[in-house]
Structure 1
């Protein structure tokens, strides 16, 4: 399947159970996972609170708190955010493509519990959208379930951008920062989370809190999906216990030693991998030792700037300024480093969405992780080509 990578498991398979046989149709899904229990809103809230379930879209917001933020009545929709616009990530589209019924179980089960009449699924990958539509035809959920294809731009995956697209507008974040639980789809209370979160809800509903907590951390039990890419021998989507050591994942995938990026292009670089555990990251990219780290970061900075919605100065001008700063850093001009430090202090907290903040976090961590490389470039260069290990196009 051209849009997806191989799957593997460290520990017990839950979300990826049965996928070694390919896509799970309705019958095979039931053979693999069993029937989905019908739970009340209170039961979902108690289960999520008991295991400390967090959203798996990057923000790691507690699901129980999101449920508590909804009113008792008048919930308009449950929204599955499948707009996986991070270029490296494949985990959500893999679930939609190969395990659509697990995602639908989580979404429809919660919709029934909340009394929400609509389940809306936003997805930017055509193959995943087709798989979900086929799965819907195999079910009788007695709900209005709609699949909407969204653009693949980076900011189009932001929650409020997804809601705008579902309402027929542009897939860009609006300036107002109102939680979907209060004003979501058509300004009505909405439960919105990413694909993996709903798959986790389906697993939690079946297993219960005790069995769900038999793996992972005591503070955050369960499993997680990681997209592992870059300079590794076995790239793909891996299911691991929450809190697995980064070193275990790197050894398992045969990673080339070198810097590692956690969390994608709104994430952070970790130059030292010993002692690092993986929790709420979703993406692990091994850069390896053959490519120029600063050149790779500059390419991503250019791409991040190109993904701006064009709505605010920190994004339009701030990211463009940082691209210029990193261009000079690559060329060995010391003024680029000083200007980058200054600009990185001006960008966060001032944008219409989290894009400038996330981009600044990625670039600031690069300055820390690649301090030795910066000195090499100022002394004449590191001698390595830019191989394009960091992907900047959507698969």
Structure 2
């Protein structure tokens, strides 16, 4: 096990450091990046597609769409741009902004290499974190100037870094495209794939930050070398954000398929339920036998709740935040999430009608929204009612479970 020091957050590696290689002393400038990873090879579109197919590489955001299928869906010509979605607005996640802050050249390698392969003339990187944006701009400057006779140019590419708002729904892929096109920071009601109609209405390759960093590694390694660690179905390493009731929070690089209990033990997690996938994810009642690979781990978030706080009170805090993040453009999000906040509030006070109304509303919300926000929020709340059934019983019979709400689940303004 390797522990990386002198970083803005606690950054650790179990096994081989790949994405986090060269970060022992903080941010990797261009020289350190090249020392750790070597030159970026220029590959063809077909070569990227074959590598993605052979390794089963999926996007490392919430959706986990196969990269090879996304490439195959693009036309042979007329691709407008490659877009890096760095709007990591999930309150718990830190992995993408850490890559942008400490390993910006790895992300740029993945994006520019693919842009050249696809014949796209632009790379746009959407970022809502000021520190990450500053690191990216410095990296772009490093790549366009000579230093100590080092040359590393992204010839012919227009690389732009766009600031985006930090609201939850503003990080959704179609919302990012809307922002980049000068529109509102909300997903449009129509669900058109970016590969068909993306930036300026033209075909666009869009994925999240870690995906491009993985592509940069994959371009340098053969599929066999890439698959030397991790599970067979999707080999390699992954970044996990570890948070909650743990002694060692932060970002952890592990092989895919690592047992959840190994991660929790290393992080010094308190006993208790675990949330996988963030606030659009699911609660687990027990962790033995669970391995961390997609789609189980979703956006790479492992949040330990512990046993000292009131679970339903914690969930109610997050439900209120999720409702506040509504784009306000459809009924299930605008009214449904607000109703669920009220349901959970009454349940906490021992009102059985709150539990019954929550069950009813949770059946009405999914599948009817203009974007994925109501579906993900309903999934989070429904799994809470299932996993915390004993706590529900305690609240309904005695008005309380006897534990105070300690704010273990972070929400903006509530601290990390």
TM over 0.5: yes
Correspondence for 1:129 among 133, 149, 152 = 133
Kept in 1: contact 2:366–2:378 (CA 8 A): yes
Kept in 1: contact 2:56–2:234 (CA 8 A): yes
Instruction: Answer yes or no: is 1:69 the counterpart of 2:73.
Output: yes
Instruction: Answer yes or no: is 1:257 the counterpart of 2:248.
Output: no
How far apart, CA to CA, are the structure 1 residues paired with 2:119 and 2:141?
22
Across the aligned residues of Structure 1 and Structure 2, the Cα RMSD in angstroms comes to 1.3
Aligned to 1:167: 181
Distance 1:3 1:261, change over 3 A: farther
Aligned to 1:141: 154
1:1-395 pair list within 5 angstroms: 4-139=8-143, 140-142=153-155, 143-280=157-294, 281=297, 282-380=300-398, 381-393=400-412
Of the structure 1 ranges 376-385 and 51-60, higher mean CA displacement relative to structure 2 is found in 376-385
Kept in 1: contact 2:6–2:26 (CA 8 A): no
Q: Once the two structures are superposed, what CA deviation does each residue of 1:313-360 show, in whole Å capped at 9, x if it has no partner?
A: 000000001001111111111111111111111101110000000000
TM superposition outliers: structure 1 runs of 4+ over 6 Å: none
How far apart, CA to CA, are the structure 1 residues paired with 2:126 and 2:31?
25
> How does the TM-score come out when normalised to structure 1?
0.98
Q: Once the two structures are superposed, what CA deviation does each residue of 1:96-126 show, in whole Å capped at 9, x if it has no partner?
A: 0000000000000000000000000000000
Kept in 2: contact 1:5–1:90 (CA 8 A): no
Q: Once the two structures are superposed, what CA deviation does each residue of 1:28-72 show, in whole Å capped at 9, x if it has no partner?
A: 000001111110000000000000000000111000000000000
How far apart, CA to CA, are the structure 2 residues paired with 1:187 and 1:157?
19
How far apart, CA to CA, are the structure 2 residues paired with 1:20 and 1:288?
31
Kept in 2: contact 1:260–1:284 (CA 8 A): yes
Q: Once the two structures are superposed, what CA deviation does each residue of 1:245-288 show, in whole Å capped at 9, x if it has no partner?
A: 10000000000000100000000000100011111320000001
Q: Once the two structures are superposed, what CA deviation does each residue of 1:209-245 show, in whole Å capped at 9, x if it has no partner?
A: 0000011111110110000000000001000111111
Matched positions, count: 395
How far apart, CA to CA, are the structure 2 residues paired with 1:308 and 1:4?
31
How far apart, CA to CA, are the structure 1 residues paired with 2:340 and 2:116?
47
How far apart, CA to CA, are the structure 2 residues paired with 1:329 and 1:182?
45
Of the structure 1 ranges 91-100 and 324-333, higher mean CA displacement relative to structure 2 is found in 324-333
Deviation at 1:5, TM superposition (A): 2.4
Deviation at 1:2, TM superposition (A): 12
Kept in 1: contact 2:85–2:206 (CA 8 A): yes
> How does the TM-score come out when normalised to structure 2?
0.94
Task: Find the residue that maps to 2:135 and give its secondary structure.
Answer: helix
Aligned to 2:149: none
Extract unaligned runs of 5+ from structure 2.
Answer: 144-152
Extract unaligned runs of 5+ from structure 1.
Answer: none
Kept in 2: contact 1:80–1:193 (CA 8 A): yes
Aligned to 2:150: none
How far apart, CA to CA, are the structure 2 residues paired with 1:243 and 1:363?
26
